[in-house]
Amino acid sequence: MTCLVAETEELAQARRLVFLALLIAVAVTVHTVESLLPTPVPWLRLGLSNVITVIALYLYGGRAAWSVSLMRVGLGALLLGRLFSPGFWLALSGCLVATSAMVLLYRWAGPRMSPIGISAAGAAGHAFGQILAARLLVVQHAAIWQIFPLFLLFTIGSGVLTGWVAAMVLEQIAKHPIFQKGKIEKVCDETP
Amino acid sequence: MKLPWSYMTVGDWLVITVLIVFAVAGMAWVAGAPVGSRLVVSDGDRICFTATLDQHRTVELEGPLGRTRLVIDNQGARITGSPCPRKSCMTMGPARQTGDLLACVPNRILVRIDGERKKDSPYDLLSR
Amino acid sequence: MPWNRPLILGLLIALLALTWWRLQPQADEVRRSQFMMGTVVEILAQGEDPSALDEAVTAAFAEMARLDRLLSSHRQESDISRLSLSETGLTVATETAEVIALGLQVARRSAGAFDLTLGRLKTLWALDSDSPQVPSLAAITATLDDLGPEALMLSGRMVRKANPALQVDLGGIAKGYAVDRGIAVLKEHGVTAAAINAGGDMYLLGQRLERPWRIGIQHPRQPNAVLVTVQVSDRAVVTSGDYERFFEQNGKRYHHLFDPKSGFPAQGCRSVTIVAESVALADALATAVFVLGPLSGLEMLKGYSGAEGMIVAADGRLYASDGWAAYQVEP
């Protein structure tokens, strides 16, 4: 068996697809489990599934992050039977703003930001998106913005927390040979 | 396990600081702003006095019969003195919610709370 | 994965469109109050065009002021004052005749518990004066002579008095009628959601921001408490209570809802709330039921298919008509 460059490319593509599928599966699971846990206030969740979005962003870039976050919201809503319910629109709006914030910040700042900062920005975007949707769809008056600062403060905390988890996971993943370009080629070379 | 700070870059600190400053400023703004409610006194045709509800003060309002005393405190606004015969305005409990009304018909004093309506208000109008 | 780019774009556009759509028809409201008919009349109209709303509210106030001039017992030139002064009766305006017809109908069906001819009795008790007192029994019985639903007769626009001394007092139904007409004017101006509240006589037109209007009903003994909340749309809500106008003498409460049979304040209830299709009817029924007391009151309400009521009896117990539950919001 020979190992051509083209094949390596194909392999990398397939690996990427499999990994992305895996990440989406994990994100949907985490999202669903987290939705089922009791919370003191309906909106206050840690947003652990954002860990996966951040990982996808760092491993495969903006498009991957978009796929993970959108699939998470869509599949999560399907699983919980909340598709097109007010809660779904809140989640979708939060996810759109959060992912935009993270992807843009990542693109602009790149290595100058660690997953923690990206995640904090995403969490803030998530809070904003949710309140925006709530203002438009559920509550319909401006008073709702009065809770935004407190919500934002909480969400920055949870963003740092999830970013920290993402940073640790990414550190572990990065040690694996398949994420180290040189090593993979070496592995390939050694297979006759 | 490495602590979060060991991962964080200058950019992270910057972003997080900006967000926290924004949140704290927002909280200060929310706390400092009036509860969204203003008190408006009219004589039926013209507005003769307005005030925010986030203060403690006593106002003497001049009507055709004499002076009606209006007290604003943390419970809302109340009429504590009136020259009218029945004094029913003084029993009309504190007004604090948007839409609440205190009225002294004989002395033509109409006190109303204006502002954005709270979502948790259990009713729109009171039948009494 | 280039397929997701149009998807994201689509979603963002959908969100923007949703935002734009929600922000466009900014539901506006106009809230105005005026002193009128011895009370404060408040009109709250909702719609999309503030200037049209303003115009509608002004027209409604004007109509109500016109009716006040016709029906007030405090104005010398009103139909009611002229009727009270006249010896045998006179021809009144169509509106006045309409109110009297309704009052006489409720008077008949409540076996005289509701009475339009209590003017003299109310003057005697002088509840609105500085220092009201319980009148002497003799004075009370004197005013009750020749009263009752038969003392006033209506044919067309012609009102006849059986007794020259008879004083007509429309009580709340004039206020209620004015509110009904105010609502009609708002409707003519294209208003679909509004509330008019004339010192407790209220009508709720349409909906309050996409849900029915919620009306808190005053607790008859706790000044700042709400007893129950009802949800209504296109209905009148009127509460009559012994706490509205009263004085106390020797530890006893004397209020403004008189029993025409005794000439004293009725004893059966603390408060009665009626939900009905017109405010004038709701007001008349609230007074009638209050005077009749809980049991006979509920019995009489059965004769009015569109009206439902809730009663707080003198002992604090709650009574409600069969259809009341449909309005009440679970606390």
Report whether pLDDT(C5) > 70: no
Q: What type of residue sits at position C193?
A: A
Mean pLDDT of C192-197: 94
Instruction: Pick the range with the lowest mean pLDDT from A81-95, C2-16, C184-198, C237-251.
Output: C2-16
Report the relative pairing of strands B125-127 and C213-218 from DSSP bridges: parallel
Q: What is the DSSP letter of C150?
A: G
Give tens-digit pLDDT for A16-36: 899 899 999 999 999 888 888
- pLDDT for res C27: 62
B115 touches chain C (CB under 8 A): no
3-state SS class at C61: helix
Crossing angle of the two packed helices A49-60 and A86-109, in degrees rounded to 10 = 30
Give the nearest partner residue to A136 out of C5, C7, C19, using CB atoms: C19
Instruction: Provide the shortest C-alpha distance from residue C112 to chain B (in Å).
Output: 24
Spatial distance between the Cα atoms of B53 and A118, rounded to a whole number of angstroms: 42
Is the pLDDT reported for residue C55 higher than 90? yes
Residue-by-residue DSSP string for B84-120: SSS-GGGGS--B-STT-EEEETTTTEEEEEEEPPPTT
Q: Identify which of B71, B53, B69, B72 has the alpha carbon closest to the alpha carbon of residue B107.
A: B69
For residue B29, the distance in angstroms to the closest alpha carbon of chain C comes to 24
**Would the CA dihedral through C112, C244, C62, C235 be positive or negative?**
negative
The residue that leads in pLDDT, C22 or C321, is C321
CATH architecture of C79-161: Orthogonal Bundle (1.10)
Q: Tell me: the pLDDT tens digits for C219-244?
A: 998 877 889 999 999 999 999 999 88
pLDDT at residue C114, rounded to an integer: 92
User: Chain A within 8 Å of B120 (Cβ-Cβ)?
Assistant: no
DSSP percent split of chain A into helix, strand, coil, nearest 5: 85, 0, 15
Of A116, A146, A161, the CB nearest to B8: A116
Question: From CA B108, how far away is CA B45, in angstroms rounded?
Answer: 10
Helices A115-133 and A49-60, axial angle in degrees (round to 10): 130
Specify the range with the lowest mean pLDDT, choosing from A135-139, B13-17, B45-49, C292-296: A135-139
CA gap B61, C150 in Å, rounded: 48
Percentage of chain A lying above the pLDDT 90 cut: 42
Query: Confidence class of residue C214 from pLDDT cuts 50, 70 and 90?
Result: very high
Chain C contact for B91 (CB, 8 A cutoff): yes
Q: What is the pLDDT of residue B89?
A: 81
* φ, ψ dihedrals at A84, nearest 5°: 65, 10
| Residue C1: band (very low, low, confident or very high) from pLDDT cuts 50, 70, 90 | very low
Which of A113-122, C1-10, C87-96, C133-142 is predicted with the least confidence, judged by mean pLDDT? C1-10
Q: Could you tell me which residue, A154 or C19, shows the higher pLDDT?
A: A154
- Quick one: pLDDT at residue A3? 54
The pLDDT score that the predictor gives to residue C49 is 83
The verdict on a CB contact (< 8 Å) between B30 and A146 is yes
Residue of B6, B10, B13, B15 for testing the chain A interface, max A β-carbons within 10 Å: B15
Indicate the pLDDT class of residue A174, thresholds 50, 70 and 90: confident
The residue count of chain B comes to 128
The SS3 call for residue B25 is helix
Please report the pLDDT score of residue B125 as a whole number. Answer: 83
Q: What is the mean pLDDT of residues C28-45?
A: 87
The least confident of B70-74, C6-10, C106-110, C184-188 is C6-10
Token pair for A187: 């592995």
Report the pLDDT value the prediction gives residue A192, as an integer from 0 to 100.
Answer: 42
- State the nearest Cα–Cα gap between B81 and chain A, in angstroms: 34
For residue B101, the model assigns a pLDDT of: 82
Give the type of residue at B127.
S
- Measured between CB atoms, does C129 come within 8 Å of chain B? yes
Write out chain B residues lying below 8 Å of A115, CB-based.
7
Amino acid at A49: S
Pick from B10, B22, B116: which is nearest to A142 by CB?
A: B116
B9 touches chain C (CB under 8 A): no
Q: For residue A138, is pLDDT > 80?
A: no
pLDDT category at C2 given cuts 50, 70, 90 is very low
| Residue C33 touches partner B, C-beta closer than 8 Å | yes
Average pLDDT of the residues in C178-200: 94
The Cα C182–Cα C44 span in angstroms is 11
Instruction: Give the per-residue pLDDT at A163.
Output: 94
List the single residue in B with minimal CA-CA distance to A167.
Answer: B7
Which residues of C fall within a CB distance of 8 Å from A140? 209
- Chain C residues in contact with A93 (beta carbon < 8 A): 15
User: For A105-128, what is the mean pLDDT?
Assistant: 91
More confident residue, C101 or C132: C101
Question: Which one of C5, C7, C15 has the shortest CB-CB distance to A93?
Answer: C15
Decide which of C185 and A79 is more confident. Answer: C185
Residue A161's pLDDT is 92
Q: Is C4 on the interface with A (CB under 8 A)?
A: yes
**Interchain proximity A167–B4, CB inside 8 Å:** yes
Q: Check residue B84 and give its pLDDT.
A: 83
**Position B4 pLDDT exceeds 90:** no
Residue C304: which region, alpha, beta or left (left: phi > 0; alpha: psi -120 to 50)? Answer: beta
> Cα(C60)–Cα(C178) distance, rounded to whole angstroms?
9
CB distance A64–C1 less than 8 Å? yes
Cβ of residue A90 closer than 8 Å to a chain C Cβ: no
Comparing CA positions, the residue from B85, C4, C29 lying closest to residue A141 is C29
Q: C328-329 and C226-232: which strand pairing?
A: antiparallel
> Are B94 and B76 a contacting pair, CB within 8 Å?
yes
Nearest-neighbour CA in chain C from A136: distance (Å): 6
Using the beta-carbon criterion (under 8 Å), do C8 and A66 form an inter-chain contact? yes
Q: What pLDDT was estimated at residue B109?
A: 87
ipTM of the complex: 0.81
End-to-end CA gap in chain A: 6
How many angstroms away from the CA of B102 is the closest CA of chain C? 9
What's the pLDDT at B92?
78
SS3 state at C319: strand
Q: Are strands C226-232 and C213-218 parallel, antiparallel or unpaired?
A: antiparallel
Query: What CA–CA distance (Å, rounded) separates C14 from C12?
Result: 5
Q: State residue A105's pLDDT score.
A: 93
Best B6, B19, B29, B37 member to test A by mutation, with max A CBs in 10 Å, is B19
Report the C-alpha gap between A19 and A13 in whole angstroms: 10
| Contact at CB, A112 and B118, closer than 8 angstroms | no
pLDDT at residue C24, rounded to an integer = 52
Q: Is C279 left (phi over 0), alpha (psi -120 to 50) or beta?
A: alpha
Has residue A109 got a pLDDT over 70? yes
CB contact under 8 A, C35 and B125: no
Contact C89, C161 (CB under 8 A): yes
How many CA atoms within 13 Å lie on the side-chain side of C76?
A: 0
Which residues in chain A have their CB less than 8 angstroms from residue C5's CB?
63
Euclidean distance between CA atoms B23 and B28, whole angstroms: 9
Can you name the residues that pair with C150 across neighbouring β-strands? none
pLDDT band at C8 (very low <50, low <70, confident <90, very high): low
The residue written with tokens 């914030």 in the block is A101
Give the A-side interface with B, CB within 8 Å. Answer: 105, 109, 112-117, 120-121, 124, 139, 141-144, 146, 148-150, 152-153, 156, 160-161, 163-164, 167-168, 171
Supply the DSSP symbol for C88: S
Token code pair at residue C107: 């008077």
B&C contacts, CB < 8 Å: 78
Amino acid at the residue C273? T
Compute the distance between CA of residue A137 and CA of residue A131 in angstroms, rounded to an integer.
Answer: 10
Question: B101-105, C27-31, C119-123, C319-323: which has the minimum mean pLDDT?
Answer: C27-31
pLDDT of residue B32: 57
In chain A, the domains with their CATH numbers are 5-190 (1.10.1760.20)
